[in-house]
Structures are given as structure tokens and as C-alpha cells.
């Protein structure tokens, strides 16, 4: 059977690290949908397009398509020949991405791109188990308290924990619409678990 595992969850819940670990254990690629949303936001900023101008942005994406390279050792996002990856995890993109991700035309474009990728793979994001791959083999939804998530971000990016927590809560609020767990998803509170602990829990369920 063609296996698709979906790992959704709130901002900074550890989705990418978990998805990467699960994918490596299963010897399949992982697909970071968030990286494509970040690339769409970066493309809008680079082109000087207003973040809410759906018509302009979808026209831009059709003319200059994004492409996700779903490599097992870390996804990369391209626009044409330009590798946008080094410019996607910045405060500027964090602040812009939810507005761009709220545009139905952008979501439809990204959904189509994700569905065109060859399975098997592990897909992570917000709506992988609900909208994009409703027939996935196994679905997971990761949570953790805002404080725990902010602490993890501080370890990745040098910044003030209170400011990060505030920004995460704000992004949760803006992303709430596309961040509901699928009814058949396994909920995992990652707060008390190590990264490897979360990966093992998922592998047990996938291989059961
Ligand atoms: O790593 P983090 O959870 O902070 O973010 P991400 O997974 O890289 O996603 C960045 C942004 O893309 C989110 O804040 C959402 O606005 C958007 N996104 C989405 O709308 N749907 C997805 N399936 C994945 C990401």
C-alpha cells in the first residue's frame, strides 16, 4: 500500500524535526508544507506584492511557480532556479506567512503541488490530515503549551522568550482556521516528551 503519514500541529510544536525523524526511520521523504507557505510569503515580499492581494499573488505563483524539493535530510523550496530556503525562517516571514496562507487561491495552488508529489512520504503542516490527504494511512496532531514551544524556538533562534511566546500565540490565532486536528488523528502532547520520544510513539502506531 502507498503510505502517507500526516503530522499536523501548532506553530513550533516540533513538526519538522518529528516528521524528519519518522521519515528517516521509514526510509521515505518528508514533505514540509509550511516551507511552501513560507516560500509563498517570501515571494510576495520579494515581488513587493501586498500580502492580501490574492489575484496578484496567485498570478505571480502561476508565472513563477514554487517547487518543493522533499529531501529526507531537509526540505528546500525554490522559485525557478532561486533557492529561497535560507530566507524562509526569519521574523519577517513569520509575520507575513499567516496572511498569505489565509488566501484560498494560494492554498489551492499549494494543495495541488503537494498532491502531485509521489507517495510514500510523511507530510507535515496544519491541514495535511484534514484537507490535503484525508485518506492518509495514519494521522498525528502535535500540541505543546506556548511556553514550551517558545523555549524550543529560543534554542533555535537567539531571541527573547516572552516576545517569542507572544508571537507564537498570535500566529496560532491567525492560523486557527486551518489548524484543526482531523477527527481520526492521534493527539500527542509533546511537552513532557523528548524529540525521540515523540518519534518512537508515532513509529509504534504506524507499524502496529
Ligand atoms: O514551524 P512552524 O510551525 O512555526 O511553521 P511552518 O510549519 O513552517 O508553517 C508556517 C506557516 O505556514 C504557518 O504559520 C501557517 O500560516 C502556514 N501553513 C498553513 O497554513 N498550512 C500548512 N499546512 C502549513 C503551514
Work out the average pLDDT over 161-172. 93
Domain range annotation of the chain: 1-28+120-208, 32-119
How many whole angstroms separate alpha carbon 122 and alpha carbon 136? 10
Report the 10 Å Cβ neighbour count for 163. 12
pLDDT tens sequence across 117-130: 999 999 999 999 99
What pLDDT score does 179 carry?
Answer: 86
Per-residue pLDDT for 208 more than 80? no
Per-residue pLDDT for 183 more than 70? yes
Residue identified by cell 524550543 is 152
33 lines ligand 1 (CB under 6 A): yes
CATH: 3.60.15.10, 3.40.50.300, 2.160.10.10, 3.10.20.740. Which one for 1-28+120-208?
Answer: 3.40.50.300
Q: Ligand 1 centre from 208 Cα, in Å?
A: 29
Per-residue pLDDT for 72 more than 90? no
pLDDT tens sequence across 131-160: 999 999 999 999 999 999 999 888 887 789
Per-residue pLDDT for 47 more than 80? yes
CATH tag, 32-119 = 3.40.50.300
Nearest protein CA to atom 9 of ligand 1, as residue: 34
What pLDDT score does 1 carry?
Answer: 60
Domains 1-28+120-208 and 32-119 alike in fold = yes
98 lines ligand 1 (CB under 6 A): yes
How many whole angstroms separate alpha carbon 32 and alpha carbon 137? 17
Cis before residue 120, ω within 30 degrees of 0? Answer: yes
What pLDDT score does 207 carry?
Answer: 85
pLDDT tens sequence across 79-118: 999 999 999 999 999 999 999 999 999 999 999 999 999 9
Are the C-beta atoms of 33 and 123 separated by less than 8 Å? yes
181 lines ligand 1 (CB under 6 A): no
Amino acid at each position: 500500500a502507498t503510505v502517507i503519514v500526516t503530522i499536523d500541529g501548532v506553530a513550533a510544536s516540533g513538526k519538522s524535526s518529528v516528521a524528519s525523524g519518522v521519515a528517516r526511520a521509514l526510509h521515505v521523504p518528508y514533505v514540509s508544507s509550511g516551507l511552501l507557505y513560507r516560500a509563498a510569503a517570501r515571494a510576495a515580499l520579494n515581488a513587493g506584492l501586498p500580502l492580501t492581494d490574492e489575484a496578484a499573488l496567485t498570478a505571480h505563483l502561476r508565472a513563477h511557480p514554487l517547487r518543493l524539493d522533499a529531501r529526507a535530510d531537509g526540505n528546500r523550496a525554490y522559485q525557478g532556479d532561486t533557492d529561497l530556503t535560507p530566507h524562509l525562517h526569519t521574523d519577517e516571514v513569520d509575520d507575513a506567512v499567516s496572511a498569505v496562507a489565509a488566501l484560498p487561491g494560494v492554498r489551492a495552488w499549494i494543495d495541488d503541488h503537494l498532491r502531485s508529489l509521489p507517495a510514500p512520504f510523511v507530510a507535515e503542516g496544519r491541514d495535511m490530515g484534514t484537507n490535503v490527504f484525508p485518506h492518509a494511512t495514519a494521522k498525528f496532531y502535535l500540541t505543546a503549551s506556548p511556553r514550551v514551544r517558545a523555549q524550543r524556538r529560543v534554542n533555535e533562534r537567539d531571541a527573547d522568550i516572552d516576545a517569542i511566546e507572544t508571537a507564537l500565540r498570535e500566529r496560532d490565532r491567525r492560523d486557527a482556521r486551518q489548524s484543526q486536528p482531523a477527527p481520526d488523528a492521534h493527539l500527542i502532547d509533546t511537552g513532557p516528551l523528548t524529540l525521540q520520544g515523540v518519534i518512537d510513539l508515532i513509529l509504534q502506531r504506524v507499524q502496529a
